Structures are given as structure tokens and as C-alpha cells.
């Protein structure tokens, strides 16, 4: 069959992320059976023209559309991105008879509502590597697909009815053995152009998240446990980036890299044994700032650490359920500064109970620190499956039946009217401090 994969994402405020999910799904397919074409719209100057051209020239049987972002997650300058994805689906429908399948991290946020809005033939929730491969086989054989895990579809309407059939969604199934997956087919994407635009080649070390931050849908979307790749498999992927694609910068895009600590150490040791030249960055949990691990990370090529602390207020650390204290945070920063490792800070301002005192506490804590970059994000995007969503319902911020397909934000009433201007003033005193989506 002829399979066309479309990456709709064009959002690149800081850096353009390479579509690793699509690359991984393509990697599971037998390209001796299927003819594969990819249209990545990230750098397209005329997306509609490029899409119509590939539809006309390639004439696919199946079109797989990846939707990475519902919106830009900015309370201060919100961009709703699903209409762009809807235009892509509509153009495919108008210019092709292919079966249209939608997936991606954005689709997983609110699958039924987004399916209803985009109107594809099928949707795939969560990790699509195995499900999509099976779906392609069944479409080819004209077999029933209704038992596939994570599948979303609309039932056929009853004869004579003017109403559309109900949307159905099967429970998703996480991939337990990540080593069983074949490597991503990154060669279908312009890796060098992503690098030139400041992007990283993403590497998945493990899936899932065992933490319970108030606002984060990671455990809901990826599962509450850890599903780990073997250290040698991770090293294989990093080596392939360097030797096969000429990639020199990567990002380990786990929710948290440094937990479990021993697994992270073994990953670093496996990379060190390969004597590779790839530099990489990753996220880090301050409660597990093991010095030996950080030394191994540096030796393995880690050149920057994202310390997503969210707040430096003791009260707000507890409210946001971060699982560490200001003491943990300060000790981690001390270690990074002593070892001359660049670290990046991102703070979420406006959670439940945030007030002038907690905001000023965070700013005072950071005053003498030396982060490579610091970004304040005002307001917190509400996500399904999170404790913050329940608080927002209780406080009347959203209705109980809001699917959160469209961007909704939580921001404490005690900071809403003044905090952006205050933070802009604070950032004006630091060249590398910013308020997200606002120029200082």
C-alpha cells in the first residue's frame, strides 16, 4: 500500500522538535510491502500547495496525520493550533480518496472531542507503533478493525437516520517492551535542517512517569510506571544519530532522566563505552541529584540540564506536588554551578494559592543563581486526568464536562492582574531571564 505520513507541527518558539513519533511508527512498517512518503510541514512556506502536490503525485491509500500540539500552552498569548490540523484533514479529504488516520500527542489529550472536530476515518490514542501497523494490515485486507487497542472511530449510522453514528474509543495499551520496537526511521526527515534551526534529535530512554505533579497529564497519557529501554539500546540509537545521520546534538526527552538513578547511570556508562561525540540535554529531578550520576552524565556528553522546578516557593512546591524541597533545589544548583554544567530553569506561575509572597519568594531564591536560561510561564494549561483539572472544576474555572480540547488555563486570582508586569520588570534586570511569549 501507499502510505503518506504528514507532520502538521509548525510550532517552534524555542526550537523545532523533530517528529520522533512518526519516525518510530514508520520504523515498525515493512517497506518492502508498503511505499512510504513523508510530508513534514515544519519548514514549509506553502503548506497547502505542498500538500496538494504530494497528494496528486503520490496518490496514497492511507494518510497518517500526526498532530503534536493542541495549542502553544501560553495563557498570555494563546495560539489555538487544532484549526490548522483540521485544514490539513479537509484538504486531504477534498483531494484524495485515502483512508485518513489521525494520532499524535495532541490527539491523545482529548481523543473523542478532537476526533469529532477533525473528522478523520480513524484515530489512534497513545503509542501508535504496534496499533498503526496492525490497522494498515486490516485496511489492506478489508478486515474489521474495531478490536484494536487505542482505536477511535465512528460507527456507521443506522439506515435512514440523519444523525451521525456514535464515536467509539477502545482502551489504549502501552508498549511494555520498548526494546522490541525497531529503531525510528529518522532518515525520512531533514535532520540537518532541524539542527540548523536550533532543534535537537529526540531520544526516548523510557516511557511513563511515576511522579504526581498537580498539573501534569504525563502519567495519564503515558502510564504511571516506568517502561525502560535497555542502556545498550539507548547507546545504539545515539551512535546511529552520530554515524548514520551526522547528528551532534540530542535531547533525551523522558519526563525525568535521572530517575531511576541506577538505570540512568547504566545508560551513561553504555554511551561512554561507545566513545561518541554527541552532546545532549535532558530533564532532571532535584530530589535525585546524585553526584556520581551527574559526573557520568557529563562524561557521556550531557552539556545542559533542564531543571523544571516550576517554583522556588516552599509552599508552592507542596501545592504543585513536586516531590522535592527548596533545599533539594538549592543543592542541585550548587552542584551544577560547581561542576560548570549549564542548567535551564522553567517556572510555572499562578497555581492554586499563588500570591505575591510566593512569587517574590521564588524571585528572591533565584537572585544570586547562575542559570544558563530562565523562563517564567504565567498561567497553567489545564489538562484532562490531572488533579488541577478537578480543582478548576470545583472553583468554577471550567465546567465538569469540558473536554479541554480548546485551551483553558488556571491562574490564581491573587496574581492574575499584576504578575506579568512584575515579572517583566524582574526579567529586565537579567539578560537571560524571560517571560514566556513576551519580550522583556
d(CA 371, CA 380): 22
CA 438, 439, 440: angle at the middle one, nearest 5?
110
- Report the SS3 class of residue 252: strand
* Among 357, 287, 360, 354, CA closest to 327: 287
**What stretch of H or E contains 216?**
none
Question: Residue 367: CB partners within 8 Å, gap ≥ 6?
Answer: none
In angstroms, how far apart are the furthest CA atoms of the chain? 74
pLDDT digit string, tens, across residues 210-240: 899 999 998 888 888 899 999 999 999 999 9
At residue 440, does pLDDT exceed 50?
Answer: no
Structural domains of the chain, ranges and CATH numbers in brackets: 2-169 (3.40.50.280), 200-435 (3.20.20.70)
122: left (phi over 0), alpha (psi -120 to 50) or beta: beta
- Output DSSP code: residue 299: H
| Helix runs in 119-167, H state only | 129-141
Residues 269-313 have pLDDT tens digits of 999 999 999 999 999 999 999 999 999 999 999 999 999 899 999
Q: What is the mean pLDDT of the chain?
A: 94
Give CA–CA dist 262/370, Å, rounded. 28
Cβ neighbours for 293, distance < 8 A, ≥ 6 positions apart: 258, 261, 264, 265, 268
> Residue 398 contacts by C-beta under 8 Å, 6 or more apart in sequence?
382, 389, 392, 404, 408
What is the per-residue pLDDT for 161?
Answer: 52
SS3 122: strand
- Does residue 163 carry a pLDDT above 60? no
In sequence order, the 6+-apart residues with CB closer than 8 A to the CB of 343 are 284, 304, 305, 306, 307, 332, 333, 336, 371, 372
Q: 124-158 b/e with 16+ CB inside 10 Å = b?
A: bbbbbbbbbbbbbeebeeeeebeebbbbbbbeeee
Checking phi first, is residue 342 left (phi over 0); if not, alpha (psi -120 to 50) or beta? beta
Q: What is the pTM of this model?
A: 0.93
**HEC-encoded secondary structure of 364-415:** HHHCCCCCCEEEEEECEECCCCCHHHHHHHHCCCCCCCCCCCCCCEECCCCC
Work out the pLDDT band at 162, boundaries 50, 70, 90.
Answer: low
pLDDT in tens, 382-424: 999 999 999 999 999 999 999 999 999 999 999 999 999 999 9
Has residue 28 got a pLDDT over 60? yes
Q: Where are the alpha helices (DSSP H) in 163-222?
A: 191-196, 218-222
Distance CA(185)–CA(204), nearest Å, equals 14
Per-residue pLDDT band for 16 (boundaries 50, 70, 90) equals confident
**pLDDT per residue over 47-84, tens digit each?**
999 999 999 999 999 999 999 999 999 999 999 999 99
Rg (CA), the chain: 22
* 201 vs 193: CA distance, rounded Å: 11
**And the C-alpha cell for 161?**
437516520
110-114 average pLDDT score: 96
Amino acid at each position: 500500500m501507499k502510505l503518506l505520513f504528514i507532520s502538521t507541527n509548525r510550532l517552534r518558539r524555542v526550537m523545532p522538535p523533530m517528529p520522533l513519533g512518526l519516525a518510530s511508527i514508520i520504523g515498525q512498517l515493512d517497506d518492502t510491502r508498503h511505499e512510504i512518503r513523508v510530508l513534514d510541514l515544519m519548514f514549509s512556506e506553502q503548506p497547502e500547495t505542498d500538500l496538494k502536490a504530494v497528494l496528486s503525485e503520490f496518490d496514497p491509500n492511507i494518510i497518517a496525520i500526526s498532530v503534536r500540539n493542541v495549542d502553544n500552552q501560553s495563557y498570555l498569548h494563546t495560539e489555538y493550533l487544532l484549526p490548522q490540523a483540521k485544514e490539513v484533514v479537509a484538504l486531504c479529504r477534498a483531494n484524495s480518496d485515502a483512508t485518513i488516520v489521525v494520532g499524535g500527542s495532541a490527539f491523545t489529550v482529548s481523543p473523542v472531542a478532537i476526533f469529532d472536530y477533525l473528522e478523520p476515518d480513524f484515530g489512534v490514542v497513545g503509542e501508535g507503533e504496534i496499533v498503526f501497523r496492525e490497522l494498515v494490515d486490516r485496511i489492506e485486507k478489508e478486515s474489521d478493525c474495531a478490536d484494536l487497542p487505542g482505536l477511535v472511530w465512528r460507527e456507521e449510522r443506522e439506515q435512514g437516520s440523519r444523525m451521525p453514528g456514535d464515536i467509539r474509543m477502545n482502551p489504549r495499551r502501552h508498549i511494555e517492551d520498548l526494546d522490541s520496537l525497531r529503531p525510528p526511521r529518522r532518515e525520512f526527515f531533514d535532520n540537518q535542517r532541524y539542527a540548523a534551526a536550533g532543534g535537537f534529535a529526540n531520544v526516548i530512554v523510557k516511557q511513563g512517569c511515576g511522579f504526581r505533579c498537580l498539573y501534569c497529564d504525563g502519567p495519564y497519557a503515558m502510564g504511571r510506571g516506568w517502561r525502560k529501554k535497555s542502556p545498550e539500546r539507548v547507546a545504539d540509537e545515539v551512535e546511529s544519530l552520530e554515524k548514520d545521520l551526522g547528528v551532534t546534538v540530542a535531547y533525551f526527552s523522558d519526563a525525568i532522566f535521572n530517575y531511576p538513578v541506577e538505570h540512568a547511570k547504566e545508560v551513561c556508562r553504555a554511551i561512554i563505552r561507545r566513545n561518541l561525540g554527541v552532546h545532549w540535554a535532558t530533564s532532571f529531578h532535584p530530589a535525585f541529584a546524585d553526584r556520581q550520576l551527574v559526573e557520568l552524565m557529563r562524561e557521556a556528553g550531557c552539556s545542559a540540564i533542564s531543571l523544571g522546578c516550576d517554583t522556588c516557593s516552599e509552599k508552592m512546591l507542596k501545592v504543585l506536588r513536586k516531590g522535592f524541597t527548596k533545599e533539594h533545589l538549592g543543592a542541585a544548583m550548587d552542584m551544577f554551578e560547581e561542576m560548570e554544567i549549564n542548567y535551564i530553569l522553567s517556572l510555572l506561575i499562578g497555581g492554586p494559592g499563588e500570591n505575591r509572597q510566593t512569587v517574590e519568594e521564588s524571585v528572591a531564591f533565584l537572585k544570586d543563581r547562575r542559570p544558563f536560561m530562565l523562563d517564567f510561564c504565567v498561567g497553567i494549561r489545564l489538562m484532562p486526568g490531572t488533579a488541577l483539572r478537578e480543582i478548576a472544576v470545583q472553583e468554577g474555572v471550567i465546567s465538569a464536562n469540558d473536554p479541554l480540547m480548546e485551551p483553558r488555563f488556571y491562574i490564581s486570582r491573587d496574581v492574575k492582574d499584576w504578575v506579568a508586569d512584575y515579572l517583566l520588570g524582574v526579567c529586565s534586570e537579567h539578560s537571560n531571564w524571560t517571560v514566556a511569549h513576551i519580550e522583556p
